[in-house]
Amino acid sequence: MTSFAETDAWDPPVLAGRLVVLRRHRAEDLGPILRWYADPEVARLTRYSVRPMTDEEVRRYFETRLLSPGALAYGIHERGTDRLIGLTTFSSLDPENGSVLFHITIGEHDRWGHGYGTEATELMLRLAFERFGLHRVGLSVFSFNERAIRSYTKAGFVVEGRLRDAIARDGRWWDEVQMGILRDEWLAAHAMPARTGG
Protein backbone atom coordinates (compact mmCIF):
# COMPACT_ATOMS: atom_id res chain seq x y z
CA MET A 1 0.00 0.00 0.00
CA THR A 2 1.28 3.50 -0.81
CA SER A 3 2.72 5.49 2.09
CA PHE A 4 0.18 8.06 3.22
CA ALA A 5 2.99 10.29 4.48
CA GLU A 6 3.99 11.37 0.96
CA THR A 7 1.21 13.79 0.08
CA ASP A 8 1.62 14.05 -3.69
CA ALA A 9 2.24 10.32 -3.97
CA TRP A 10 -1.14 9.38 -2.51
CA ASP A 11 -3.05 12.59 -3.23
CA PRO A 12 -2.13 13.67 -6.77
CA PRO A 13 -3.05 17.29 -7.57
CA VAL A 14 -4.88 16.39 -10.80
CA LEU A 15 -6.82 13.35 -12.07
CA ALA A 16 -7.88 13.67 -15.70
CA GLY A 17 -10.61 11.82 -17.57
CA ARG A 18 -12.37 12.23 -20.89
CA LEU A 19 -15.18 14.45 -19.56
CA VAL A 20 -13.85 15.82 -16.29
CA VAL A 21 -10.65 16.83 -14.54
CA LEU A 22 -10.44 16.41 -10.78
CA ARG A 23 -8.28 19.06 -9.15
CA ARG A 24 -7.46 19.89 -5.57
CA HIS A 25 -9.63 22.73 -4.34
CA ARG A 26 -8.58 26.36 -4.64
CA ALA A 27 -9.88 29.34 -2.65
CA GLU A 28 -12.00 30.51 -5.60
CA ASP A 29 -14.03 27.28 -5.45
CA LEU A 30 -15.87 28.62 -2.41
CA GLY A 31 -18.30 30.77 -4.44
CA PRO A 32 -19.94 27.93 -6.39
CA ILE A 33 -19.91 25.68 -3.32
CA LEU A 34 -21.78 28.33 -1.29
CA ARG A 35 -24.40 28.41 -4.05
CA TRP A 36 -24.74 24.61 -4.21
CA TYR A 37 -25.23 24.26 -0.46
CA ALA A 38 -27.97 26.89 -0.57
CA ASP A 39 -29.79 24.90 -3.28
CA PRO A 40 -32.80 23.01 -1.81
CA GLU A 41 -32.68 20.28 -4.48
CA VAL A 42 -28.99 19.58 -3.84
CA ALA A 43 -29.76 19.41 -0.11
CA ARG A 44 -32.71 17.08 -0.74
CA LEU A 45 -30.53 14.62 -2.65
CA THR A 46 -27.37 14.71 -0.58
CA ARG A 47 -27.96 15.85 3.02
CA TYR A 48 -29.71 14.27 5.96
CA SER A 49 -31.15 17.67 6.90
CA VAL A 50 -32.83 19.84 4.26
CA ARG A 51 -32.24 22.91 6.43
CA PRO A 52 -30.02 25.26 4.40
CA MET A 53 -26.46 25.45 5.68
CA THR A 54 -25.38 28.93 6.72
CA ASP A 55 -22.55 30.57 4.79
CA GLU A 56 -20.39 30.20 7.91
CA GLU A 57 -21.08 26.46 8.08
CA VAL A 58 -20.19 26.05 4.41
CA ARG A 59 -17.00 28.09 4.83
CA ARG A 60 -15.97 25.96 7.81
CA TYR A 61 -16.67 22.75 5.84
CA PHE A 62 -14.75 24.13 2.86
CA GLU A 63 -11.69 25.06 4.92
CA THR A 64 -11.53 21.94 7.10
CA ARG A 65 -12.83 19.19 4.81
CA LEU A 66 -12.04 20.38 1.28
CA LEU A 67 -9.19 22.92 1.31
CA SER A 68 -6.91 21.57 4.04
CA PRO A 69 -3.65 19.97 2.82
CA GLY A 70 -4.54 16.51 4.15
CA ALA A 71 -8.06 16.45 2.71
CA LEU A 72 -8.86 13.68 0.22
CA ALA A 73 -11.03 16.09 -1.76
CA TYR A 74 -11.24 17.33 -5.33
CA GLY A 75 -13.22 19.83 -7.33
CA ILE A 76 -14.84 18.30 -10.43
CA HIS A 77 -14.11 20.47 -13.46
CA GLU A 78 -15.64 20.10 -16.89
CA ARG A 79 -12.86 19.24 -19.30
CA GLY A 80 -12.40 21.89 -21.97
CA THR A 81 -14.12 24.73 -20.11
CA ASP A 82 -12.53 24.17 -16.66
CA ARG A 83 -15.93 25.02 -15.16
CA LEU A 84 -16.30 23.76 -11.58
CA ILE A 85 -19.41 21.55 -11.62
CA GLY A 86 -19.10 19.48 -8.46
CA LEU A 87 -16.97 18.04 -5.70
CA THR A 88 -15.90 14.60 -4.53
CA THR A 89 -14.23 13.39 -1.35
CA PHE A 90 -13.11 10.35 0.60
CA SER A 91 -13.79 10.18 4.33
CA SER A 92 -13.22 7.73 7.18
CA LEU A 93 -10.00 6.47 5.62
CA ASP A 94 -9.02 3.27 7.47
CA PRO A 95 -5.60 2.11 6.16
CA GLU A 96 -5.45 -0.78 8.64
CA ASN A 97 -8.62 -2.32 7.18
CA GLY A 98 -8.12 -0.96 3.66
CA SER A 99 -11.40 0.93 3.44
CA VAL A 100 -12.77 4.40 2.78
CA LEU A 101 -16.15 6.09 2.27
CA PHE A 102 -16.89 7.91 -1.00
CA HIS A 103 -18.94 11.08 -1.50
CA ILE A 104 -19.80 13.07 -4.62
CA THR A 105 -22.01 16.04 -5.48
CA ILE A 106 -22.64 17.46 -8.93
CA GLY A 107 -23.81 20.93 -7.97
CA GLU A 108 -24.67 22.31 -11.41
CA HIS A 109 -28.14 21.12 -12.48
CA ASP A 110 -27.38 21.46 -16.19
CA ARG A 111 -24.63 18.85 -15.81
CA TRP A 112 -26.83 16.21 -14.18
CA GLY A 113 -27.38 13.04 -16.20
CA HIS A 114 -24.50 13.55 -18.66
CA GLY A 115 -21.95 11.07 -17.29
CA TYR A 116 -19.81 13.56 -15.40
CA GLY A 117 -20.54 12.00 -12.01
CA THR A 118 -19.93 8.48 -13.28
CA GLU A 119 -16.53 9.40 -14.70
CA ALA A 120 -15.53 11.32 -11.57
CA THR A 121 -16.52 8.26 -9.51
CA GLU A 122 -14.41 5.99 -11.71
CA LEU A 123 -11.39 8.32 -11.34
CA MET A 124 -11.75 8.24 -7.56
CA LEU A 125 -12.03 4.45 -7.57
CA ARG A 126 -8.87 4.21 -9.64
CA LEU A 127 -7.16 6.39 -7.04
CA ALA A 128 -8.44 4.20 -4.19
CA PHE A 129 -7.61 0.83 -5.70
CA GLU A 130 -4.65 1.39 -8.02
CA ARG A 131 -2.74 4.11 -6.17
CA PHE A 132 -3.77 3.68 -2.53
CA GLY A 133 -4.12 -0.10 -2.78
CA LEU A 134 -7.27 -0.07 -0.65
CA HIS A 135 -9.53 -3.12 -0.38
CA ARG A 136 -13.00 -1.55 -0.22
CA VAL A 137 -14.85 1.66 -1.05
CA GLY A 138 -18.32 2.18 0.39
CA LEU A 139 -21.03 4.83 0.13
CA SER A 140 -24.56 5.68 1.24
CA VAL A 141 -27.32 7.02 -1.01
CA PHE A 142 -31.00 7.76 -0.46
CA SER A 143 -33.30 5.31 -2.26
CA PHE A 144 -35.21 8.07 -4.07
CA ASN A 145 -31.99 9.26 -5.74
CA GLU A 146 -32.35 6.81 -8.61
CA ARG A 147 -30.05 8.74 -10.95
CA ALA A 148 -27.18 8.48 -8.43
CA ILE A 149 -27.83 4.77 -7.85
CA ARG A 150 -27.66 4.14 -11.61
CA SER A 151 -24.38 6.05 -11.79
CA TYR A 152 -22.85 4.14 -8.88
CA THR A 153 -23.99 0.83 -10.33
CA LYS A 154 -22.45 1.73 -13.69
CA ALA A 155 -19.17 2.49 -11.89
CA GLY A 156 -19.23 -0.99 -10.30
CA PHE A 157 -20.84 -0.52 -6.88
CA VAL A 158 -23.31 -3.14 -5.66
CA VAL A 159 -26.08 -2.81 -3.09
CA GLU A 160 -24.96 -4.35 0.20
CA GLY A 161 -27.83 -3.40 2.48
CA ARG A 162 -30.48 -0.89 3.49
CA LEU A 163 -31.31 1.18 6.52
CA ARG A 164 -35.07 0.94 6.24
CA ASP A 165 -37.16 4.11 6.44
CA ALA A 166 -34.11 6.12 7.53
CA ILE A 167 -34.94 9.31 5.59
CA ALA A 168 -38.09 11.45 5.67
CA ARG A 169 -38.62 13.25 2.36
CA ASP A 170 -41.62 14.43 0.36
CA GLY A 171 -44.12 13.31 3.00
CA ARG A 172 -42.95 9.68 3.22
CA TRP A 173 -40.14 7.44 4.43
CA TRP A 174 -37.24 6.23 2.27
CA ASP A 175 -34.41 3.76 2.75
CA GLU A 176 -30.76 4.71 2.98
CA VAL A 177 -28.99 2.34 0.59
CA GLN A 178 -25.51 1.03 1.44
CA MET A 179 -23.33 0.26 -1.59
CA GLY A 180 -19.76 -0.94 -1.95
CA ILE A 181 -17.10 -2.15 -4.34
CA LEU A 182 -14.04 -4.33 -3.63
CA ARG A 183 -10.58 -3.99 -5.16
CA ASP A 184 -10.74 -7.42 -6.83
CA GLU A 185 -14.05 -6.46 -8.48
CA TRP A 186 -12.57 -3.19 -9.73
CA LEU A 187 -9.42 -4.83 -11.07
CA ALA A 188 -11.39 -7.62 -12.80
CA ALA A 189 -13.66 -5.08 -14.50
CA HIS A 190 -10.71 -2.98 -15.68
CA ALA A 191 -8.27 -5.71 -16.68
CA MET A 192 -6.61 -5.18 -20.03
CA PRO A 193 -7.81 -7.76 -22.57
CA ALA A 194 -5.20 -10.32 -23.54
CA ARG A 195 -3.55 -9.70 -26.91
CA THR A 196 -4.11 -12.30 -29.59
CA GLY A 197 -2.51 -12.95 -32.93
CA GLY A 198 1.08 -12.62 -34.09
pLDDT at 131: 92
Domains of the chain in sequence order: 7-134 (3.40.630.30)
Q: Which residue has the higher pLDDT, 5 or 78?
A: 78
CB atoms within 10 A of CB 38: 14
On whether the CB atoms of residues 23 and 77 are closer than 8 A, the answer is: yes
pLDDT at 195: 44
Residue 158: which pLDDT band, with cuts at 50, 70 and 90? very high
Q: What percent of the chain has pLDDT over 90?
A: 79
**Is residue 43 over pLDDT 70?**
yes
Residues contacting 126, CB < 8 A, separation 6+: 15, 190
Beta bridge partners of 74: 88
**pTM reported for the whole predicted model:** 0.89
DSSP characters for 163-175? Answer: EEEEEEETTEEEE
Measured in whole angstroms, the distance separating CA 96 from the mean position of its chain's CA atoms is: 22
